[in-house]
Every structure is written in structure tokens, then in C-alpha cells.
Structure 1
């Protein structure tokens, strides 16, 4: 099969012939239908976050089950599925306490010494990328790295659920538990930020404030439900937000991954408000908060994939789309083919595009 291989950080991906293993126990072979090109992929491709190479990046995908291994309980060939990068075991403390996105149990991986799931045509093994390696015509994953969804759901839009949407929407539904009438500010109007804005609208937020330096993204944010939008690069933007929100928002969502924007999320909270940091702040960077501000009862928390409970939340998000509440169509900037992957990554570097979606024939 064809796959986009990263041989070294800070170099272009190369389209190569790759061999995929047969499904082992509790493994599922998926024919990839579509995969989103996410900024998280770019962090690894550009070396901001280290990763073993060679590898096949990609982690936001949807497809159709081709075959299943032994002991697979809930999936069968022909099922339409959405994948997610934090495969869960279902038995550890994180899983049984309702936090499967934090599971790191090694039982979901192939044991040491086993045949690799992917290897180059010449036989060299490929390091698994975030349990998925989705920039490929096929994915071989643990059964708990995907969820079956309605076949009415278009797979090119379903792919976005696997990262951007579950992260952004989860930050509203799960991390913030926003109640009707409350206010929220979302910093960063990329795929994750737009999903958070859309989810805040679904949840009945009284005020939704979007902050992004790109005018076109602010316009998209308003289309998807933002009641106000600001350029965070303008001096005094925190005072602007405090002014329109009445001394700050109940919830601030940071979807950029920079210390300055995390600190901004803290600054624009009202007393007792909560900031949720979704962005991937690079190793070696830190966030600084003024000590006395903790006396205001504010809270700051991290989140991975919006604290999503995948088997429960994913089908609900599909239903939101099918019933017209979740706007995934606006999030798709373009549909491309796998050989255009490096061009899509360049657009992410420029910061002007929302989501490129790779479609497979």
C-alpha cells in the first residue's frame, strides 16, 4: 500500500510502498477513507516534539473495517469507523474511572519482538505513530483505537471527529461542562477552536468570544457561532474581552499551544472561572501566572482530546452532525490526495488554512 513516510524530522514526507501486517488478537485492519492534516502532525514532522523515525504520521482518520483479528468483540468487516490516537485498555485506573483518554496501558501495543504492524517494502520496521499511522491507505490498530459509527455519516467529515472535534467539543462538554447562558472565550480558531465554538453554541452559551490573528478565521468563527471576535495580537485585547464579557468569561479554551496564549486564557477569566489548555506547548516552555491571582478562585487545567469517552461521545457527535447542529462542512478547507501532503503541511505552517482532508479513492 501507499503511505507518507517521515524519515527525518524537518524533511518532507515521502510517498512509499509500505507493507501492513495481518491483524493479530484484538486488532482491526481499516481501509482509510479520509484523514485530516492536523497541526499536531506538524509538531512532530517539524521536530518540536521528538518521535522515533522512520514513521508514518497521521492521526485524524475514518475508514471501513477490512478484517479483524481474533478476540475482537465489537467490530466486524464493513463497519464504518472513526479512529483516535489514545487507544484505551478498558481495565486500568484511568479507564474504569471514566478517563480513557489518559490510558497508557502497554497491553494495547504489540509485544516486544513481535512483527511490526508496518514496515517498508524492503523490510525495515516503521515506528507506530500515535497508535494509528493514518497517512496511509490502510491502518492496523487495536480495536479500542476506533469506534463504529452510522453509515449515514460522510467519512470525509467523520475523520475530523478523531482529533479536532473530540478535542474542541470535549473541552466544552466534558472539561468545562458549560451550562446554558454561561460565557466562553476560545483562543485559536483552527480546527480545534472552531469545534469548541460550535460546541459552545450547541450547549447554549450566552456569549462566545473568538480570538485569532487571521481575519478569515475570525469570520469562520462567527459563522460557527462566535458572538464576538478579536485579534489577540492587538495591545489591550485582554481588557477588550473583560469589557464585553462583564469582568471576564466563565471558561477560556486555549487551542494554540503557546505560553502567551495560555497566560491570556488565565487573564480573561472572571473570578472562579476555568481555563482549559488544549494546545501542545513544546518541551522546554512553561507558563507563568501571577501568584495573587489564585486568590480569585480561578482554575487552570490541561486536557487531552477533550477528556472524551470515545465509545459514548463519538456516536453522539455523529448524531449532532446528522441532525444539523454540528457544522463540520465549514471546517474543511480543501480535499486533497496523499501526494499533496507536504503542500497541506506548508499551509499549516503559514497558519491560514483550517483543515485539509486527504481522501483515498
Structure 2
């Protein structure tokens, strides 16, 4: 039996349940969770904006220790420290062969079904299956994941910091480095000072951007962005964000604008504050039914690049260890990202703080 946070009904609090957890099968890994981050993607599911099979163990940003491996597993062994990879790419589909494992078709199917690759889940309650979010199910004392979803890491980084790598850091820094390929001396705007937005900011600083404009409506968060490399801040609750960015860039707009909230109106703002021939990068996740309104004439006449990014366009087996090496070298800030730490039983308090905009990143710490 394992204790886990389970979503039974959309819009309702998560329930702490004692679940049965079967042993890992071929190609699977059992992970004893040590830390898991509270992400807006999880909250979108709670609210029913990303409909998935229920009941569901949420959580996808996490780190822990390998406790057991199934037959055929070769990349990790019991005792290894691992970070979860919520896009366990197959290596065979067209996108994997194109060098885009972040867009793996097999991983996308698992996202939709809430299962492991064989179509089943190891969690159950009263003999009935309990599904797991993004193949991870990180809000559980223990979880079973595909081998590709357990990335071995160095042992000298605390689990609470390593957990952040698997989503907010990879997504934010990767959006800058991999997707936008921000050039030194560039101007950058970042809409949304949350877990991902802060990492976009420090990714832009790592890339050598000369001007990094952080945009949010929470003044305390805007003040903190300076710690991560922001050179200017705009409180969108007090002034129009697009006009403010244009004023700060002599009317041109920024070379790169990133949206890290997931709202259609802020996505349009990001596009409108991007200069001609600049790049707008959408990182935030909106509900599937929502659309963004952009002036059609501007598409050819302003020649902007508009793109999205999933998991920072990363390759977790390669990128997770590199990001932790950057942290160990003092070039990546992780400690300031954690606003609050909760026990698993306090997870609904953590989501309430996430919803209210209080936290950069709330974190679940699992008991020994």
C-alpha cells in the first residue's frame, strides 16, 4: 500500500488515499518519491481544463530513489537517484527520429490514456485501476514509471532541488536555449513570474540577453525576478504591458517575447510586444478549446516567428544532467524557486497557494 493524492472528481480537492501498487513489469522502474513540485499543469487537470481518465494520481515534476527495477531495465538500478521524465520518448516514432523527442507520439498517447506503455496502470483502489498523470503519478509515496521516465542524476543535489529540473527548469531554460536560441545582447520579455517564468528569465540571463523585462501582477514576485536576471519589471495590473514594453524598447518591441501563463489574452500580448522579425514563444498551457486572436495582416507584414514549446524542447536524458551540472557550478539558481514546502496531506493547501499566485513553486516533501 502507498499513500497518494488522488483526483476523483474535477473541481474537487484531492483525496489522500491508500492505494495498492503492483510490482514493476518488463521495462518499468519503481521509484520511492522524495520530492514533487506543484505545477499549473496539475491544477489545469484538477479544474477539468485538461480532461483525463479518473481517478488519477496527479504530479509529474519529481525526484526520488530507484527501489526496484523490472526485467529488461538497464539504464538504472536500485539505489540510483532519478528525476522523472514526463515525456518518455519511444525513440522510434517520426518525431523521435527527427530529433524531437519532446513531441514523441507514443508519449502523447500515454498522456491521453493515463497509463503505462502496456495500456495498464500499477495503481489500484478497491481492485479498480487508478490512472497516473503524464506516466509519472508523482504525488504518491512510490510510483511505477517506464524506464525512459527515470533519468539518473548526480547524488550531491538535494531531491527538492532536483525535482524542479523535470518541469519548470527544463521548460523555462529550454524554451530560451533550445526553442528560441536567444542570442547574446538580445532584448527579452517574459509574461508570468511563476515557476516556469523565473526559469525563462534565468535562461535568458545565461544566454547573455542585455535586457530582460519581467511582467506580472504580483509586485513581490516582480521584485524577486531581479535575483534571476531581470533588468526591468512591468506590473500589468497597473499599466498596459504591451505599451510598457514598447516604451522600454524605443517603440520597437523585444527580440523575443515569452508567455508563461497559458491565457489567450497574454499570448496575444506577447505577440504584440515582439518586434518585426522577432520571435514569440508560447510556453504556457491553455485549455484545448481556447483560441488566440492575432491580426492576420501582421503575420506577413511584420514577419514575426510565432512558436510554441513543450518541455523546453528538451531531451531529458541529456539535458537533466546538464542542468544539474549548471546548478553545481553556481550558474543556475534553484533554491530561490521554492516558496513553500508541504507534506502530502497538505497538498490542497499547496494548490490553493498556487491558484492565488502566492508561490513561485510549492513543493511536496515525502516523509522518510
* TM superposition score normalised by structure 1: 0.96
User: What's the counterpart of residue 75 of structure 1?
Assistant: 76
User: What's the counterpart of residue 18 of structure 2?
Assistant: 17
Measured against aligned partners, the alpha-carbon deviations of 1:145-166 in whole angstroms (never above 9, x if no partner) come to: 1211100111101111111111
Measured against aligned partners, the alpha-carbon deviations of 1:153-191 in whole angstroms (never above 9, x if no partner) come to: 111011111111111011101001111111111100000
Measured against aligned partners, the alpha-carbon deviations of 1:75-108 in whole angstroms (never above 9, x if no partner) come to: 1111111112111111221112221111122797
1:157 pairs with 151, 158, 161, which one?
A: 161
1:286 matched to 2:287? The reply is no
1:111 matched to 2:121? The reply is no
Is residue 215–residue 241 contact of structure 2 (8 Å, CA) maintained in 1? no
1:135 pairs with 135, 139, 143, which one?
A: 139
Measured against aligned partners, the alpha-carbon deviations of 1:230-252 in whole angstroms (never above 9, x if no partner) come to: 01234432122112123111111
Cα separation, 2, equivalents of 1:261 and 1:240: 14
Kindly tell me the number of residue pairs found equivalent between the two proteins.
358
Cα shift at 1:57:
0.5
User: What's the counterpart of residue 113 of structure 2?
Assistant: none
1:255 pairs with 247, 252, 260, which one?
A: 260
1:194 pairs with 183, 192, 198, which one?
A: 198
What is the alpha-carbon root mean square deviation over aligned residues? 1.3
Cα separation, 2, equivalents of 1:311 and 1:110: 19
User: What's the counterpart of residue 146 of structure 1?
Assistant: 150
Cα separation, 1, equivalents of 2:15 and 2:224: 32
1:228 matched to 2:232? The reply is yes
User: What's the counterpart of residue 345 of structure 1?
Assistant: 351
* TM superposition score normalised by structure 2: 0.94
Measured against aligned partners, the alpha-carbon deviations of 1:5-27 in whole angstroms (never above 9, x if no partner) come to: 11111111111111111111111
Cα separation, 2, equivalents of 1:43 and 1:243: 34
Cα shift at 1:31:
0.4
1:272 matched to 2:277? The reply is yes
Cα shift at 1:70:
1.3
User: What's the counterpart of residue 177 of structure 2?
Assistant: 173
User: What's the counterpart of residue 210 of structure 2?
Assistant: 206
Cα separation, 1, equivalents of 2:235 and 2:150: 37
Cα shift at 1:119:
0.7
1:354 pairs with 357, 360, 365, which one?
A: 360
Is residue 207–residue 245 contact of structure 1 (8 Å, CA) maintained in 2? no
Q: Secondary structure at the match of 2:349?
A: helix
Unmatched 5+ residue regions in structure 1? none
Is residue 331–residue 354 contact of structure 1 (8 Å, CA) maintained in 2? yes
Unmatched 5+ residue regions in structure 2? 111-115
Q: Secondary structure at the match of 2:133?
A: coil
Is residue 37–residue 355 contact of structure 1 (8 Å, CA) maintained in 2? yes
Cα separation, 2, equivalents of 1:320 and 1:258: 31
User: What's the counterpart of residue 301 of structure 1?
Assistant: 307
Cα shift at 1:333:
0.3
1:35 matched to 2:23? The reply is no
